[in-house]
């Protein structure tokens, strides 16, 4: 049996069976909080600073002041991975409004709670990376900027969960969520890209998406290969008629789509651009990032 995980809560490590927060925490009572999902590969944390910046931006947007510095937060992530002696895995970083009373007011909460879980994640079986996912359009829309900005990675993921239920009920692995205008926004936990005639496109942040860190890395990789990549409004039509479609996300990485709303994408197998970007992303993820252990730190300093 594997060792029980050590979980960081507010500066202290606890065995997973003892890692508990209050039932009066507003993260639980109201989904009042923010989170990040972060990957580490080969002893390095991938794009840690970007994840920490997004966490603090999400917190600021919901008027939550994180009681420690960004540097201390980064240390908490690295230290938790070390405490669990992991080199490849996934970190869930959660900041809740903290323990309060019954009643919505966040001003009754004493202090935000900070939770760091370092574990592993495997979203889709390897076979899906070879053959592609089945994806459908969901009727649940992405919430608008007028309610809560989709850029906030908040603890309230209910519309995404509802869309995921629809996708699974339809026999698919993922679901596309449209925005209020009916344009393609993103999937329940991934951003979406299409390729047509050798050119790439993905919805802009203004379409009401999470500004994905994997999305940004893939845009950089595609442009470095010389591909034209536009951030433009997309409709379902552009996905139906694309040569290639793929999704990006911290958990999913880069994953091909084989079928969308019963239409076969391209020839039904992952296309050449998708394959290139999958390989480029894997290479980037495995060779860059914040070192977790001293040996990696020394190697990074020497190179
Ligand atoms: N859109 C949404 C709505 C997300 O939640 C992404 C895009 C991709 O963003 P990054 O920065 O990760 O490239 C996400 C992130 C899961 C899971 O269990 C999914 C995410 C985060 C944590 C867990 O499917 N998605």
Q: Could you say which DSSP state residue 31 is in?
A: -
Rounded to the nearest whole angstrom, what is the distance from the C-alpha of residue 153 to the centroid of ligand 1? 9
Q: Are residues 212 and 240 in the same domain?
A: yes
Identify the segments of the chain with pLDDT beneath 70. Answer: 1, 295-303
Q: Are residues 143 and 277 in the same domain?
A: yes
**Is residue 252 within 8 Å of residue 188, measured between CB atoms?**
no
Within 10 angstroms of residue 265's Cβ, the number of other Cβ atoms is 27
Q: Quick check: is 152 in a domain? A: yes
Q: Are residues 262 and 164 in the same domain?
A: yes
Which of 119, 154, 189 is the last residue before a domain boundary? 119
Q: Are residues 89 and 146 in the same domain?
A: no
Q: Are residues 137 and 272 in the same domain?
A: yes
Q: Are residues 246 and 268 in the same domain?
A: yes
The overall average pLDDT reported for the chain is 96
Q: Are residues 98 and 66 in the same domain?
A: yes
The confidence score (pLDDT) of residue 1 equals 46
Return the residue whose CA atom lies nearest to atom 12 of ligand 1.
250
**Residues in Cβ contact with 159 at an 8 Å cutoff, skipping those fewer than 6 apart:** 140, 141, 142, 143, 177
Return the residue whose CA atom lies nearest to atom 8 of ligand 1.
249
Q: Within 6 Å (CB) of ligand 1, which residues are found? A: 37, 123, 160, 186, 189-191, 210, 212-215, 248-251
Which residue segment(s) compose the domain that 177 sits in?
126-287
- The structural domain count of the chain equals 2
Q: What are the tens digits of pLDDT across the range 44-91?
A: 999 999 999 999 999 999 999 999 999 999 999 999 999 999 999 999
The confidence score (pLDDT) of residue 297 equals 63
Q: Could you say which DSSP state residue 133 is in?
A: E
The confidence score (pLDDT) of residue 294 equals 77
153 counts as catalytic? yes
Q: Quick check: is 301 in a domain? A: no
């Amino acid at each position: 049996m594997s060792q029980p995980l050590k979980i960081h809560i507010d500066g202290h490590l606890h065995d997973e069976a003892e890692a508990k927060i209050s039932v009066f925490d507003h993260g639980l009572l109201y989904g009042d909080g923010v989170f990040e999902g972060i990957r580490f590969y080969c002893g390095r944390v991938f794009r840690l600073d970007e994840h920490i910046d997004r966490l603090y931006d999400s917190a600021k947007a919901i008027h939550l002041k994180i009681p420690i510095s960004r540097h201390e937060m980064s240390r908490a992530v690295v230290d938790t991975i070390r405490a669990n002696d992991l080199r490849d895995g996934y970190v869930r970083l959660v900041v809740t409004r903290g323990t309060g009373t019954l009643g919505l007011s966040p001003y009754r909460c004493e202090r935000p709670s900070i939770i760091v879980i370092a574990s592993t994640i495997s979203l889709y079986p390897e076979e899906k990376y070879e053959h592609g996912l089945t994806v459908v359009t969901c009727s649940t829309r992405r919430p608008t900027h007028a309610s809560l900005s989709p850029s906030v990675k908040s603890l309230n993921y209910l519309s995404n969960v509802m869309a995921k239920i629809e996708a699974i009920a339809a026999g698919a692995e993922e679901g596309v969520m449209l925005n209020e205008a009916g344009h393609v926004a993103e999937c329940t936990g991934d951003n979406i890209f299409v390729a047509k005639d050798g050119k790439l496109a993905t919805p802009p942040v203004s379409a009401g998406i999470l500004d994905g860190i994997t999305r940004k890395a893939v845009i950089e990789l595609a442009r470095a290969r010389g591909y034209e990549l536009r951030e433009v409004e997309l409709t379902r039509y552009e996905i139906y008629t694309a040569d290639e479609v793929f999704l990006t996300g911290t958990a999913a990485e880069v994953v091909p789509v084989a079928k969308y709303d019963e239409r076969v994408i391209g020839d039904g197998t992952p296309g050449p651009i998708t394959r290139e970007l999958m390989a480029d992303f894997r290479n980037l993820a495995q060779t860059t990032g914040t070192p977790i252990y001293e040996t990696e730190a020394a190697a990074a300093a020497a190179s």
